[in-house]
Amino acid sequence: MAQEFRLPDIGEGLTEAEIVRWLVPEGQPVEADQPVVEVETDKAVVEIPSPYRGIVLRHGGAEGETISVGSVLVVIGDASEMEAAVDPGSITDPGASAAEPAPNAEDEAPVASVAPIVGSLSEDAEVLSGRSDRAPGSEADAVKALPIVRKLARELGVDLAGIKGSGSDGRVTREDVMAAASPPEPALKSRPEPETAPEDATPTSSPTPAAVVADERRPMTRLRRTIAANMARSWAEIPHVTTFDEVDATRLLEIRAALSVRHEMKVPIEALVVKAVIPALLAFPELNSTLDGDELVVHAAHDVGIAVDAPDGLLVAVIKDAAGLGVLELATEVRRLGDGAKTRTLAPDELTGQTFTVSNIGAVGGGHGTPIIPYGTTAILSVGRAKEQVTVVGGELAIAPVMPLSLSYDHRVIDGAHGRRFMSMVIENLEEPALFLAG
C-alpha cells in the first residue's frame, strides 16, 4: 500500500523548504533511510532520507518548488501502484489530502485503490500547474511551464499567456520570462530626409542617441531573503553600539606561525581569537547572553559563531562548547565548519544557536566595521586584517602588525564602560597569547 511521506520539521522553527534536487526519480526503487531528496531551508541544504522501502510513485513537488512542512514530499509504494500514481486525473496541489477526479472521469478507466497521492512531475502536470494569480480556466493556466517559472512570472508581473515558449513542446522557460520582463529598446523615430544644403553652408552633426540599457530584476534566493530578514530585524530592534580599537598582533602572529610549523597544520586566526575571547566572556557573561523580554538569559555554554563568507551569502557556523576545546581542536573545527558552510553541507543545528559571534573580515581585506549583532545574542566581535604600522613599543617608535577590532553590543544590556572593559581584556589576551593559552 502506498505511503505518503510529509515534509518534516528538520530545523528549529522551519515552516517551509525548497526542493533543490531529487536524488531518486519517480518509478525508481528506494531503500529505507536512503536519501531521496535534497531540500534548502533558510540556511542549510540537507538530504532527507526515505522512511520507507519501495518504489517512488510520486514526487510532491518539482525541483525549485517550495513546499510547507506537513505537505506531502514523496509517495512510496509498490510497482503495481505506479500507473495509478502517474494518472493525470489525480493531480492536486501539493499538500492536498486526497486526489480529485479528472474533469472527464467518466471516460477514464477505473484505477486501483491506493492511499491518497498528490502532486506530479508529468508533462500534463506542468500544464495544470497549481497556484496562479488568474482565475481558473484562463489562458495562462494552459501554458506549459514549470512551477518555479510560474512563480517567477508572478513576481515579475509577466503574463504567461502572451509568451511564446522556446522550450520543448513550446514550454515557457525562465529565460523566456526574463526576456518578457525586460522592456524592448525603443525604436528610433524616423526623420524626413533633409533638404539639400547650399554648397556654402557649414555642415552640422546631429547627436547619436545613446543606447537604452534595461534594468535587470534578480529574484533573491531563499538564503538571501533569510539574511535580509534577520539583519533588518536585528537592526530595527537592537540599539547597536560599536566600539573600535587596535591591537599589536606581533605575538599573536608569532604564536600562530609556531603552532602551524610544530603541528604541520594551518591554524586559522579565528581559532586563536575565539580562544582569547573565552576568558573575557567568562568575566563578562552579559556578552554571552540572550535578552528575553524583561529577563536576561546568561548562557552556561559558550557556543561561538564564526561568520563565513559562503558563495551563496553570509552564514554563521557555530562552534559548540568552544570553552572546552584547545587551540588545535578549535583550529580543526573552524576549518571543518568553514568548508561545510561554503559547500552548504552543514546540519541545521550547526548553523544556529550561537551565544557570541566572531567575524574575521580581515580574510577579505577588511579593517574596522560596524558588525550587526545576530538576533538572539548581545554582541559580536569583528577582526580586521593586520597591517604593518608605526607604533610605540617601550617608549620608542617601531613597525608592528596592527589588527583592527570592532565590537558591537546591545546597549539595552551592556553599558559603554562594561563593553570597554570586555574589549580591554580581549586586547590584553591577543597581545600576549600566554594569558589565554595557559588557561
pLDDT digits (tens, 9 = 90+) for 176-232: 887 887 655 454 444 455 455 455 555 555 566 667 788 888 888 878 888 888 899
pLDDT attached to residue 322: 96
What burial letters (b/e) apply to 28-39, b meaning 16+ CB within 10 Å? Answer: eebeeeeebbbb
pLDDT attached to residue 350: 92
Q: Is the pTM of this model over 0.85?
A: no
pLDDT digits (tens, 9 = 90+) for 276-301: 999 999 999 999 999 999 999 999 99
Residue ranges and CATH numbers for the domains of the chain are 3-128 (2.40.50.100), 240-437 (3.30.559.10)
Mind telling me the catalytic residues?
411
Residue 48: what are its φ and ψ, rounded to 5°?
-110, 125
On the 0-12 / 13-18 / 19+ scale of CB atoms within 10 A, 260 is middle
DSSP per-residue string spanning 361-425? GGGGT--S--PPPPTT-SEEEEE---EEEEEEETTEEEEEEEEEEEEEEETTT--HHHHHHHHHH
DSSP 433: T
DSSP per-residue string spanning 122-189? SHHHHHT-S--SSPTT-GGGGS-B-HHHHHHHHHHT--GGG----SGGGPBPHHHHHHHHSPPPPPPP
Indicate the average pLDDT of the chain.
Answer: 80
Q: How confident is the model at residue 438 (pLDDT cuts 50, 70, 90)?
A: confident
Higher pLDDT, 60 or 83: 60
pLDDT digits (tens, 9 = 90+) for 115-125: 333 332 333 32
Stretch 85-96: mean pLDDT, rounded? 43
